[in-house]
Each structure stands twice: as C-alpha cells, then as structure tokens.
Amino acid sequence: MTVATAGRGGRRAMRDWYAYLFIGPSLFGVIAFLLLPVVIVFVLSFFDWELLSDPTFVGLDNYRRLAADGSVWSSLWVTVIYVLLCIPLQTVLALGLALVVNQKVKGVKFFRALFVIPWMATPMVLGLVWSWIFDPRDGAINQVLDLIGITGPAWLSESSLALPAVALVSIWQHTGYNMLFFLAGLQGIPKELYDAAACDGATPRQRFFRVTLPLLNPTMFFVSVTNMIGAFQAFDTIYSMTAGGPSEATAVINYKIFHTAFREFDFGYAATLSIVLFLAILLVTMAQIRFFSKRTTYDMS
C-alpha cells in the first residue's frame, strides 16, 4: 500500500466518522423512540403485568385470550368503519380544495391558510368544542335545525350517529392539511402538458383524468398511507367527544388499548392489542403499496 493510498483511506474513514457524527442524533431518536418501544411492547405482550406488581411471564396466554375476546374484534371492526368513513371523503375533499386554491385569483392565499387552521388546533380541544356543537339541546347544529322546523337528534348519544359524527370532525380537521400536499403536487405538474392536451382537443375532464391524476400518483400514495395510519391510530378526538360510547359504538382499537392499560391496568394484554394494531396497519400499508405500484406515473424529468 502506497502512502497516497493510505492517505485516501484515512480521509475516507474520517468522512465516514463525520457522517456518523451528523446522523447520530437522528439515529438515536429513531432507536430510542421508535424501534425500542416496539421491541418493549412485543416483549411485554408475553407477560402479565399490573404496573404495581412484578411482571409474570405467561407465554402465549395473552394471544389465546385475544383470539376469544369478542370486544377486541368489535373494536377492530369499529376502527375499520371509522377509516372507511374518513379516508375516501377526506381525500376527495382535499383534492377538490387543492384544485380550487390552485387558481390564480385574488385572495387565494388567505383561503389556503384558512383551510389549514383546523389541523393546527389540539385534537382534545376540538373534541370538546364539537361536543358542544353536537349538543342535542343547545348545540349549534340542532339550533339551526330548529329554525327550519326539524328536531335534531342526540348526535353523540345514538349508536348509529356517534361514529359518523366523530368521523366528520376528523374530516373537517385534516382536509385542509392534506390539501397542502395535493396543492404542491398540482404545482409540480408542468403547464406544457396541459397546453399540449388542450391542443389535442382534450376536455377539462379528460385533462384531469389523463394528466392530473396520473401525475398526482406519488402525492396520492403519500396522503393515503399517512391518513390511513393516522385514522387507525385515532384516539384524542374520540376520547374527548364520546369516550368510546355510546355502548362502545365509537370504541376504536386505540381506545380499547388505552382502557385496558390505564383503566384495567392490564399492561401485558394492552401490549398484545398494540401488536394487533401494528399488524393491521402493516397489512393495510402493504396493500396500499401494492395498489399504487401498479398505477401509471409519467416521468416528468
């Protein structure tokens, strides 16, 4: 080995150490706050632990209990319904708003900021405010219905209405935030493509389905995956609005985990439920990846 080769090797090693030094804080955060908690929860799922007592190893007993626990599968079903209520409408509305605020008209920047404000609010506070709005006696919604001679229902006290009402609040809160991603995607589409399509005689509808949607595929993938994960983990707003009621009509799986851990103090079984939630999110995410990988995306480079 020559002196020059040894010198280059030393400089390369020094660059590697600098790289590790810079990524070290982020890597520590990923390990300490993402990977390590997952490992701890997985290990805890094999134990019976009531917090004040010593953990007792029970093997697969928690998983056997899970298989026979109908309330867990009911919570999963409620979660799936909640996701189906939120994601499609939320995505369509966000794309529609993005198309509107993408126009070059006076004052459009004000509306862009206005639509994002709900996302900036604290979910627990939003839940309390919307609980007042949905109040059957003094709530704003039923007050408006009274003006036109309609007696409003008890929105959060009826099993058939509570979950759609909570989903509506989630849609209202997150639509503007998702609009920003679609807006960024729309502004990244070259105008020349629309001009070329118009010269070929394409109608606005054809330009939307043949140019806009295919080129928004990466944005649609990101929005769908992140929204789906967020909807499966819904808790704050539901807890503050209904606390899982009435009759567990809004008891999503995350609320079930909270109740098991911090009301029943059964942390081992709560960890098992968390593993189920993790696997459900993983399966849905993999399905989304497979779905979007088969869709056409034109190269704009």
pLDDT in tens, the chain (301 residues): 454 455 565 677 777 788 888 888 888 888 988 889 989 999 999 999 988 888 999 999 999 999 999 999 999 999 999 999 999 999 999 999 999 999 887 888 888 889 999 999 888 899 999 999 999 988 999 999 999 998 899 999 999 999 999 999 999 999 999 999 999 999 999 999 888 988 988 898 999 999 999 999 999 999 999 999 999 999 999 999 999 999 999 999 999 999 999 999 999 999 999 999 999 999 999 999 998 887 655 555 5
| pLDDT given at position 25 | 87
* Signed CA dihedral, 162, 164, 167, 171: sign only: negative
* Neighbour count for residue 66 (Cβ, 10 Å): 17
Predicted confidence at residue 3, as pLDDT, reads 46
Q: Residue 203: what residue type?
A: T
Q: Report how far apart, in Å, the C-alpha atoms of 215 and of each of 146, 153, 187 are.
A: 46, 43, 11
Using CA atoms, how far residue 52 sits from 42, 49, 217, in Å, is 20, 8, 50
CATH of the domain at 198: 1.10.3720.10
Nearest to 244 by CA among 149, 234, 49: 234
Note whether residue 90 is domain-resident.
yes
- Does some domain include residue 22? no
Q: Confirm whether 62 is domain-assigned.
A: no
CA distances from 159 to 54, 77, 150, 172, 277 (A): 40, 14, 20, 21, 23
Residue 18 lies in a domain: no
Contact 174, 90 (CB under 8 A): yes
Neighbours of 167 (CB within 10 A): 24
Domain-embedded: residue 13: no
Range of the domain at 202: 68-293
147 in any annotated domain: yes
Copy the structure tokens of residue 292: 């979007």
d(CA 159, CA 188): 44
* 131 belongs to a structural domain: yes
Record the pTM.
0.89
Q: Would residue 228 count as lying in a domain?
A: yes
User: How many folded domains does the chain comprise?
Assistant: 1
